[in-house]
Structure formats: structure tokens, C-alpha cells
Amino acid sequence: MRLALTIDGMLAVHARHAVMTALGGVPGIEAAEVELGAAEVTCAVGADPTTTAAALRTAIAAVGCTVTDVKILPRQLPTL
């Protein structure tokens, strides 16, 4: 499962690093791409989207930013 997060309060590169570190501490997160104002997170197979989104919101709030939107992204198939 992949989630797209819209994040408010990421105004500088150090905030991007703080969010990346926070995401790394959330159980079940396999990969994350973070840019100013947004993140795309890949979760473990079978992860509950509601529980994972709540954990991500809590982790990001701990570094002073706010998740304003969470969207479940469609599964990506490998490119041939």
C-alpha cells in the first residue's frame, strides 16, 4: 500500500529531514520519499490504512508539522 501525504509546516530543508526521520520511526514503513509539503510512503503488505495514517500523523506532528491530507495511491506495477 502506498500513501500520499500533504504536509503543512515544511518550510525549509531541515523540516524535510525531520519528517524523513520521523517516518523512519513508524512501524511498517518500507520506503518514503519526502519533499517540501508532501511525502509518499510505502507500507508493508497488509497494513491497515487507518492505523498507519494515524501513526504517520502522530510522528509528523512530533516534529512540528501537520498532515492535512492522506490519500491511498493505486498499486504500482513493475515497468517492463
Residue 33 grid cell? 520519499
Q: Which residue type sits at 1?
A: M
Q: Is the predicted pLDDT of residue 66 greater than 80, yes or no?
A: yes
**CB pairs under 8 A, 24+ apart, for 41-46?**
41/2, 41/3, 41/5, 42/1, 42/2, 43/1, 43/2, 43/3, 45/1
Q: Which residue type sits at 61?
A: A
Between the alpha carbon of residue 54 and those of residues 32, 48, 50, 61, the distances in Å are: 16, 10, 6, 11
Quick: pLDDT tens for 4-62.
999 999 888 999 999 999 999 999 999 999 999 999 999 998 889 899 999 999 999 99
